[in-house]
Structure 1
């Protein structure tokens, strides 16, 4: 019998990554469905927390959003540890967040390397920004407060983390989800 206190490690992990507005959520959902794996979305967790918890009066909306974002990020790694065969994680992990992702994977019992596949949703920053500004999201994200400086930071860090094999998806054309699923589910060490 396996002890309930020992987390079960995930066999394969897919990180769906890219700029905000690049199409990560759409790709992650389609990929999770094709693979039959759970999709763990930082935004979905953050939005659920915002709907259930009340903002403490001593925190500004920005501080509350940030705190919920940190809790959602940590929740992703906890859920990953219990995921079993495979899981698809979705968030904008831009280059400066690489150490955060590596630490989260370690806490989930996953080592960087061939067991971690990264899907980079490749889109020009100006296209991502236009999509970002046109979409309607949960108010916890405070999207209306994101300006030019923040977009410059995001664009500067817009590249894959390179923690394992990377598949770049040009998000300006149709995506081959079955082909992408094949890449993601291939045994570690298989040609990418």
Structure 2
């Protein structure tokens, strides 16, 4: 298997660039809060998998795990369609657990969307913290999302999950509050 690191930030690509910042991490890792804060701080448009999927979960009944996954895949496709239609010079923040599909799916979407630079913020979280956060928000989640039965699986996922590494990666320790100013400065420096 080839190494995909830094595939999308080659200086030979056309300018102006179309950039994406992947805010990546397992469920309950703090990625949505971080993405919203970063968008507010920078003005870059933020798209989230749940932001697209949840309106469907509000209207559809009887969504099981398999159908939830199909909705997730369709929502993922919508994100990349929006980005593909955006003009060059755009910068997007995309909030998702990118490990829910093969890495090759992501690289294909990045290519189809005309992305010329990829940055990633990896939201690192311990199994115990992810489980506690997930459990705490169970009452707020829409029907169709996985319930308490997912927590043991989430703990295992937290031990082995890794960033996509398709460009520079910022490791954000989600056991402490994220330093949005430091993340913003990092992203701006990398994108120079």
Aligned equivalent of 1:131? 133
Distance (Å, rounded) in 2 between the aligned partners of 1:126 and 1:146: 13
Task: Decide which of 40, 45, 48 is 2:55's aligned counterpart.
Answer: 48
Contact 2:119–2:187, Cα closer than 8 Å, also in 1: yes
Aligned equivalent of 2:118? 116
Contact 2:126–2:159, Cα closer than 8 Å, also in 1: no
Q: Unmatched 5+ residue regions in structure 2?
A: 1-15
TM-score, length-scaled by structure 1? 0.79
Cα deviations by residue, 1:111-169 (Å, 9 ceiling, x for unpaired) = 5xxx11100011112211211111122222123341524542x2354111100000001
Contact 1:95–1:157, Cα closer than 8 Å, also in 2: no
Task: Decide which of 24, 27, 40 is 1:20's aligned counterpart.
Answer: 27
TM-score, length-scaled by structure 2? 0.79
Secondary structure at 1:139 match in 2: coil
CA RMSD of aligned residues (A): 2.3
Contact 2:127–2:154, Cα closer than 8 Å, also in 1: no
Aligned equivalent of 1:98? 103
Secondary structure at 2:165 match in 1: coil
Distance (Å, rounded) in 2 between the aligned partners of 1:62 and 1:16: 23
Alignment of 1:1-192 (within 5 A): 11-52=18-59, 54=60, 61-84=64-87, 85-94=90-99, 97-111=102-116, 115-135=117-137, 136-149=140-153, 151-152=155-156, 154-186=157-189, 188=191
Contact 1:40–1:79, Cα closer than 8 Å, also in 2: no
Distance (Å, rounded) in 2 between the aligned partners of 1:82 and 1:184: 23
Distance (Å, rounded) in 2 between the aligned partners of 1:96 and 1:46: 16
Q: Unmatched 5+ residue regions in structure 1?
A: 1-8
